[in-house]
Amino acid sequence: MRDFSTDHRWLSINTATVRRQRGADWPLLDILDACAARGIRAVSPWRDQVAAAGLDATAHALKSHGIELSGYCRGGMFTYTDAASRQAVRDDNRRALDEACTLQAPCLVLVVGGLPGALAGQPAHRDIASAREQVAEGIAALLDDARERRMPLAIEPLHPMYAADRACVNTLRQALDLCERLDPPMAGPPCLGVAIDAYHVWWDPELDSQIARAGAQRRVLALHVCDWLVPTIDLLTDRGMMGDGIIDLPRLRGQVEAAGFAGYAEVEIFSTRWWAHDGGEVLDTCIARHRSVV
Ligand code: ZN
Protein backbone atom coordinates (compact mmCIF):
# COMPACT_ATOMS: atom_id res chain seq x y z
CA MET A 1 0.00 0.00 0.00
CA ARG A 2 1.29 3.42 -0.91
CA ASP A 3 2.54 5.69 1.88
CA PHE A 4 0.44 8.88 1.88
CA SER A 5 1.91 10.26 5.11
CA THR A 6 4.69 12.40 3.69
CA ASP A 7 3.11 14.07 0.67
CA HIS A 8 -0.19 14.46 -1.15
CA ARG A 9 0.77 13.56 -4.68
CA TRP A 10 -2.15 11.09 -4.87
CA LEU A 11 -4.76 13.48 -3.52
CA SER A 12 -7.53 14.62 -5.83
CA ILE A 13 -10.27 17.07 -4.96
CA ASN A 14 -13.78 16.50 -6.20
CA THR A 15 -14.68 20.12 -6.73
CA ALA A 16 -18.16 19.73 -5.22
CA THR A 17 -16.26 19.59 -1.92
CA VAL A 18 -15.62 23.33 -2.20
CA ARG A 19 -18.35 24.38 -4.61
CA ARG A 20 -20.06 27.04 -2.50
CA GLN A 21 -18.13 28.37 0.42
CA ARG A 22 -19.81 30.64 2.95
CA GLY A 23 -22.89 31.07 0.80
CA ALA A 24 -21.22 32.00 -2.48
CA ASP A 25 -20.24 29.78 -5.40
CA TRP A 26 -16.49 29.32 -5.52
CA PRO A 27 -15.75 29.55 -9.26
CA LEU A 28 -14.02 26.51 -10.72
CA LEU A 29 -11.07 28.48 -12.08
CA ASP A 30 -10.46 29.94 -8.62
CA ILE A 31 -10.66 26.45 -7.13
CA LEU A 32 -8.03 25.30 -9.65
CA ASP A 33 -5.79 28.23 -8.67
CA ALA A 34 -6.15 27.31 -4.99
CA CYS A 35 -5.40 23.64 -5.69
CA ALA A 36 -2.35 24.50 -7.79
CA ALA A 37 -1.04 26.78 -5.05
CA ARG A 38 -1.15 23.80 -2.66
CA GLY A 39 0.48 21.28 -4.97
CA ILE A 40 -2.77 19.39 -5.51
CA ARG A 41 -2.27 17.56 -8.80
CA ALA A 42 -5.76 16.35 -9.64
CA VAL A 43 -9.41 17.31 -9.42
CA SER A 44 -12.75 15.90 -10.47
CA PRO A 45 -15.03 18.73 -11.58
CA TRP A 46 -18.80 18.72 -12.06
CA ARG A 47 -20.40 19.56 -15.37
CA ASP A 48 -22.26 22.58 -14.06
CA GLN A 49 -19.04 24.04 -12.68
CA VAL A 50 -17.29 23.47 -16.00
CA ALA A 51 -20.21 25.00 -17.88
CA ALA A 52 -20.09 28.09 -15.67
CA ALA A 53 -16.32 28.48 -16.18
CA GLY A 54 -16.41 27.54 -19.87
CA LEU A 55 -15.16 24.23 -21.23
CA ASP A 56 -12.21 25.68 -23.13
CA ALA A 57 -11.21 27.99 -20.29
CA THR A 58 -11.29 25.01 -17.92
CA ALA A 59 -9.18 22.87 -20.25
CA HIS A 60 -6.70 25.73 -20.60
CA ALA A 61 -6.48 26.32 -16.84
CA LEU A 62 -5.94 22.62 -16.16
CA LYS A 63 -3.17 22.52 -18.70
CA SER A 64 -1.42 25.65 -17.49
CA HIS A 65 -1.51 24.43 -13.88
CA GLY A 66 -0.50 20.89 -14.83
CA ILE A 67 -3.58 19.57 -13.01
CA GLU A 68 -5.17 16.37 -14.30
CA LEU A 69 -8.57 14.84 -13.74
CA SER A 70 -9.30 11.80 -11.58
CA GLY A 71 -12.75 11.61 -13.17
CA TYR A 72 -15.48 13.75 -14.64
CA CYS A 73 -18.80 14.18 -12.81
CA ARG A 74 -21.05 13.07 -14.20
CA GLY A 75 -23.11 11.21 -16.74
CA GLY A 76 -26.00 8.87 -16.19
CA MET A 77 -29.57 9.54 -15.01
CA PHE A 78 -30.66 6.99 -17.62
CA THR A 79 -34.24 6.33 -16.55
CA TYR A 80 -37.02 7.87 -18.61
CA THR A 81 -40.76 7.93 -19.16
CA ASP A 82 -41.07 8.38 -22.93
CA ALA A 83 -39.13 8.30 -26.18
CA ALA A 84 -38.37 12.02 -26.07
CA SER A 85 -36.84 11.89 -22.59
CA ARG A 86 -34.88 8.77 -23.54
CA GLN A 87 -33.37 10.62 -26.50
CA ALA A 88 -32.66 13.71 -24.38
CA VAL A 89 -30.79 11.56 -21.87
CA ARG A 90 -28.73 9.94 -24.59
CA ASP A 91 -27.86 13.29 -26.18
CA ASP A 92 -26.89 14.77 -22.83
CA ASN A 93 -24.66 11.81 -22.01
CA ARG A 94 -22.94 12.13 -25.35
CA ARG A 95 -22.17 15.76 -24.56
CA ALA A 96 -20.79 14.67 -21.19
CA LEU A 97 -18.52 12.20 -22.99
CA ASP A 98 -17.28 14.90 -25.35
CA GLU A 99 -16.53 17.21 -22.43
CA ALA A 100 -14.69 14.40 -20.64
CA CYS A 101 -12.57 13.94 -23.78
CA THR A 102 -11.80 17.65 -24.04
CA LEU A 103 -10.71 17.68 -20.39
CA GLN A 104 -8.74 14.43 -20.85
CA ALA A 105 -10.55 12.72 -18.00
CA PRO A 106 -9.59 9.12 -17.22
CA CYS A 107 -13.29 8.22 -17.02
CA LEU A 108 -16.81 9.59 -17.05
CA VAL A 109 -18.49 8.78 -13.73
CA LEU A 110 -22.06 7.50 -14.03
CA VAL A 111 -24.76 8.09 -11.44
CA VAL A 112 -27.35 5.94 -13.11
CA GLY A 113 -30.67 7.38 -11.94
CA GLY A 114 -33.57 6.00 -9.89
CA LEU A 115 -37.28 5.89 -10.55
CA PRO A 116 -38.03 8.30 -13.39
CA GLY A 117 -39.22 11.65 -12.04
CA ALA A 118 -38.32 10.80 -8.44
CA LEU A 119 -35.46 13.28 -8.23
CA ALA A 120 -37.93 16.04 -9.05
CA GLY A 121 -40.30 14.68 -6.39
CA GLN A 122 -42.75 13.04 -8.82
CA PRO A 123 -41.90 9.36 -9.28
CA ALA A 124 -43.69 8.04 -12.38
CA HIS A 125 -44.14 4.53 -10.92
CA ARG A 126 -42.96 2.05 -8.30
CA ASP A 127 -41.27 -0.44 -10.59
CA ILE A 128 -37.59 -0.34 -9.63
CA ALA A 129 -36.87 -3.48 -11.69
CA SER A 130 -37.92 -1.66 -14.86
CA ALA A 131 -35.79 1.33 -13.86
CA ARG A 132 -32.83 -1.02 -13.55
CA GLU A 133 -33.48 -2.39 -17.03
CA GLN A 134 -33.60 1.14 -18.43
CA VAL A 135 -30.24 1.78 -16.78
CA ALA A 136 -28.74 -1.28 -18.47
CA GLU A 137 -30.18 -0.16 -21.80
CA GLY A 138 -28.86 3.39 -21.33
CA ILE A 139 -25.37 2.24 -20.42
CA ALA A 140 -25.31 -0.17 -23.36
CA ALA A 141 -26.14 2.67 -25.76
CA LEU A 142 -23.62 5.04 -24.18
CA LEU A 143 -20.96 2.36 -24.25
CA ASP A 144 -20.97 2.43 -28.05
CA ASP A 145 -20.26 6.18 -27.95
CA ALA A 146 -17.67 5.70 -25.20
CA ARG A 147 -15.78 3.04 -27.15
CA GLU A 148 -15.68 5.30 -30.18
CA ARG A 149 -14.13 8.03 -28.06
CA ARG A 150 -12.00 5.69 -25.94
CA MET A 151 -13.48 7.21 -22.82
CA PRO A 152 -14.07 4.64 -20.06
CA LEU A 153 -17.36 4.73 -18.15
CA ALA A 154 -17.31 4.27 -14.37
CA ILE A 155 -20.56 3.07 -12.81
CA GLU A 156 -20.75 4.45 -9.26
CA PRO A 157 -22.96 2.28 -7.07
CA LEU A 158 -24.75 4.53 -4.60
CA HIS A 159 -25.81 3.71 -1.04
CA PRO A 160 -29.31 2.16 -1.03
CA MET A 161 -30.77 5.28 0.62
CA TYR A 162 -30.52 6.87 -2.85
CA ALA A 163 -32.18 4.00 -4.74
CA ALA A 164 -35.43 5.86 -5.37
CA ASP A 165 -34.15 9.18 -6.62
CA ARG A 166 -30.49 8.99 -7.65
CA ALA A 167 -29.23 5.52 -8.45
CA CYS A 168 -30.90 2.12 -8.49
CA VAL A 169 -27.48 0.45 -8.76
CA ASN A 170 -26.62 0.10 -5.09
CA THR A 171 -23.88 -2.44 -4.59
CA LEU A 172 -20.54 -3.17 -6.14
CA ARG A 173 -21.80 -6.65 -7.05
CA GLN A 174 -24.73 -5.14 -8.95
CA ALA A 175 -22.43 -2.71 -10.77
CA LEU A 176 -19.99 -5.47 -11.71
CA ASP A 177 -22.81 -7.71 -12.91
CA LEU A 178 -23.76 -4.88 -15.27
CA CYS A 179 -20.14 -4.49 -16.38
CA GLU A 180 -19.85 -8.18 -17.22
CA ARG A 181 -23.19 -8.23 -19.02
CA LEU A 182 -22.62 -5.11 -21.13
CA ASP A 183 -18.84 -5.21 -21.55
CA PRO A 184 -17.76 -8.84 -21.26
CA PRO A 185 -14.14 -9.50 -20.30
CA MET A 186 -11.88 -9.40 -23.34
CA ALA A 187 -8.16 -9.17 -23.99
CA GLY A 188 -7.84 -5.39 -23.81
CA PRO A 189 -8.71 -3.04 -20.95
CA PRO A 190 -12.48 -2.81 -20.36
CA CYS A 191 -14.40 0.34 -21.32
CA LEU A 192 -16.88 -0.15 -18.47
CA GLY A 193 -15.79 -0.21 -14.84
CA VAL A 194 -16.67 1.12 -11.42
CA ALA A 195 -16.05 4.10 -9.19
CA ILE A 196 -15.69 2.91 -5.61
CA ASP A 197 -16.90 5.55 -3.16
CA ALA A 198 -16.24 4.79 0.51
CA TYR A 199 -19.45 6.57 1.52
CA HIS A 200 -21.61 4.31 -0.62
CA VAL A 201 -19.96 0.92 -0.13
CA TRP A 202 -18.38 0.81 3.36
CA TRP A 203 -21.31 -1.13 4.90
CA ASP A 204 -21.46 -3.89 2.25
CA PRO A 205 -20.79 -7.38 3.69
CA GLU A 206 -19.59 -8.46 0.23
CA LEU A 207 -17.20 -5.56 -0.17
CA ASP A 208 -13.92 -7.49 0.08
CA SER A 209 -14.82 -10.13 -2.48
CA GLN A 210 -16.37 -7.62 -4.88
CA ILE A 211 -13.32 -5.35 -4.79
CA ALA A 212 -11.17 -8.36 -5.60
CA ARG A 213 -13.56 -9.24 -8.43
CA ALA A 214 -13.34 -5.70 -9.81
CA GLY A 215 -9.56 -5.81 -9.61
CA ALA A 216 -9.27 -9.12 -11.40
CA GLN A 217 -11.16 -7.57 -14.32
CA ARG A 218 -9.26 -4.26 -14.19
CA ARG A 219 -12.48 -2.39 -13.61
CA VAL A 220 -11.54 -0.12 -10.69
CA LEU A 221 -11.49 3.31 -12.34
CA ALA A 222 -11.83 5.65 -9.36
CA LEU A 223 -11.66 5.76 -5.56
CA HIS A 224 -13.70 8.39 -3.69
CA VAL A 225 -13.12 9.08 -0.02
CA CYS A 226 -14.92 10.94 2.76
CA ASP A 227 -16.42 9.63 6.01
CA TRP A 228 -19.74 8.46 7.45
CA LEU A 229 -20.77 10.56 10.43
CA VAL A 230 -22.70 9.16 13.39
CA PRO A 231 -25.32 10.44 13.50
CA THR A 232 -25.78 11.52 9.88
CA ILE A 233 -28.35 14.31 9.87
CA ASP A 234 -28.93 14.81 6.15
CA LEU A 235 -28.98 12.13 3.46
CA LEU A 236 -27.22 14.29 0.88
CA THR A 237 -25.25 17.07 2.52
CA ASP A 238 -23.79 15.63 5.70
CA ARG A 239 -20.80 13.68 4.52
CA GLY A 240 -17.88 13.71 6.89
CA MET A 241 -14.27 14.78 6.50
CA MET A 242 -11.96 11.75 6.47
CA GLY A 243 -11.20 10.76 10.05
CA ASP A 244 -14.37 12.26 11.54
CA GLY A 245 -16.56 9.17 11.09
CA ILE A 246 -16.61 5.39 11.17
CA ILE A 247 -15.23 4.26 7.80
CA ASP A 248 -11.96 2.31 7.97
CA LEU A 249 -10.42 4.21 5.07
CA PRO A 250 -6.89 2.74 5.20
CA ARG A 251 -8.38 -0.74 5.05
CA LEU A 252 -10.52 0.17 2.05
CA ARG A 253 -7.64 1.84 0.25
CA GLY A 254 -5.44 -1.15 0.97
CA GLN A 255 -7.99 -3.46 -0.61
CA VAL A 256 -8.49 -1.26 -3.65
CA GLU A 257 -4.73 -0.97 -4.16
CA ALA A 258 -4.29 -4.72 -3.69
CA ALA A 259 -6.84 -5.01 -6.50
CA GLY A 260 -4.50 -3.07 -8.76
CA PHE A 261 -5.73 0.51 -8.42
CA ALA A 262 -2.86 3.00 -8.37
CA GLY A 263 -4.68 6.27 -9.06
CA TYR A 264 -5.84 9.19 -6.97
CA ALA A 265 -7.77 9.12 -3.72
CA GLU A 266 -10.46 11.64 -4.61
CA VAL A 267 -11.96 13.59 -1.73
CA GLU A 268 -15.69 14.05 -2.32
CA ILE A 269 -17.53 15.72 0.54
CA PHE A 270 -21.00 17.21 0.17
CA SER A 271 -21.40 18.94 3.51
CA THR A 272 -23.11 22.08 4.68
CA ARG A 273 -20.67 21.99 7.61
CA TRP A 274 -17.64 22.19 5.32
CA TRP A 275 -19.29 24.52 2.80
CA ALA A 276 -19.54 26.99 5.72
CA HIS A 277 -15.75 27.24 5.90
CA ASP A 278 -13.27 29.20 3.83
CA GLY A 279 -12.41 27.12 0.76
CA GLY A 280 -8.65 27.28 1.28
CA GLU A 281 -9.09 26.07 4.84
CA VAL A 282 -11.13 23.09 3.56
CA LEU A 283 -8.41 22.22 1.04
CA ASP A 284 -5.74 22.44 3.75
CA THR A 285 -7.81 20.11 5.95
CA CYS A 286 -8.21 17.67 3.04
CA ILE A 287 -4.42 17.60 2.59
CA ALA A 288 -3.80 17.01 6.30
CA ARG A 289 -6.40 14.24 6.57
CA HIS A 290 -5.26 12.65 3.32
CA ARG A 291 -1.83 12.27 4.88
CA SER A 292 -2.99 11.16 8.31
CA VAL A 293 -6.11 9.00 7.93
CA VAL A 294 -6.58 7.93 4.29
ZN1 ZN B 1 -18.49 9.47 -5.35
Between the two ends of the chain, the Cα-to-Cα distance in Å is 11
Find the mean pLDDT for residues 108-128: 97
Name all domains of the chain by residue range, CATH numbers in brackets.
Answer: 11-292 (3.20.20.150)
Examine the pLDDT at 4 and tell me if it is beyond 90.
yes
- CB-facing half-sphere around the CA of 164: CA atoms within 13 A: 11
Spacing, Cα 146 to ligand 1 middle (Å)? 20
Identify the pLDDT of residue 28. 98
Please give the distance, rounded to the nearest whole angstrom, from the Cα atom of residue 282 to the centre of ligand 1: 18
At 201, is the pLDDT very low, low, confident or very high (cuts 50, 70, 90)? Answer: very high
Q: Rounded distance, CA 2 to CA 128, Å?
A: 40
Is 123 exposed, middle or buried (CB count within 10 Å of its CB: 0-12, 13-18, 19+)? middle
Strand ranges for the chain from DSSP E: 11-14, 20-21, 24-25, 42-44, 68-69, 72-76, 108-111, 153-155, 192-197, 220-225, 265-267
Distance in Å, CA 227 to ligand 1 centroid: 12
What confidence score (pLDDT) does residue 185 get?
Answer: 87
Distance 226 CA to ligand 1 centre (A): 9
Residue 188, pLDDT > 90, answer: no
Predicted local distance difference test score (pLDDT) of residue 76? 98
**Distance from residue 133's CA to the centre of ligand 1 (Å):** 22
Q: Tens digits of per-residue pLDDT, 25-40?
A: 999 999 999 999 999 9
Tell me, in angstroms, the distance from the centre of ligand 1 to residue 246's CA.
17
Distance 61 CA to ligand 1 centre (A): 24
In angstroms, the CA 123 to CA 121 distance is: 6
Distance 224 CA to ligand 1 centre (A): 5
Give 251 Cα–ligand 1 centroid separation in angstroms: 18
Cβ of 229: how many Cβ atoms within 10 Å? Answer: 18
Instruction: Give the distance (Å) from ligand 1 centre to CA of residue 12.
Output: 12
Q: Which of 34-38, 186-190, 283-287 has the lowest mean pLDDT?
A: 186-190
Task: Give the pLDDT confidence score for residue 198 in this predicted structure.
Answer: 98
**CA 156 / ligand 1 centre spacing (Å):** 7
* Model confidence at 62: pLDDT above 90: yes
* pLDDT (0 to 100) of residue 41: 98
- Ligand 1 mean position, distance from CA 59 (Å): 22
Q: How far is the CA of 268 from the centre of ligand 1 (A)?
A: 6
- Kindly give the distance from the C-alpha atom of residue 73 to the centroid of ligand 1, in angstroms, as a whole number: 9
Report the separation in Å between the CA atom of 74 and the middle of ligand 1, taken as the mean of its atom positions: 10
Residue 187 pLDDT = 78
Distances in Å between the Cα of 121 and the Cα atoms of 67, 164, 168, 249 are 38, 10, 16, 34
Confidence of residue 46 (pLDDT cuts 50, 70, 90): very high
Confidence of residue 186 (pLDDT cuts 50, 70, 90): confident
How far is ligand 1, taken at its centre, from the CA of residue 103, in Å? 19
Task: Determine the distance separating the centroid of ligand 1 and the alpha carbon of 126, expressed in angstroms.
Answer: 26
Q: Which long-range contacts (CB under 8 A, 24 or more apart) does 238-241 make?
A: 238/271, 238/272, 238/273, 239/199, 239/268, 239/269, 239/270, 239/271, 240/269, 240/271, 241/269, 241/271, 241/274, 241/285, 241/286, 241/289
The 10s digit of each residue's pLDDT in 123-141 is: 999 999 999 999 999 999 9
Q: How far is the CA of 170 from the centre of ligand 1 (A)?
A: 12
pLDDT of residue 70: 98
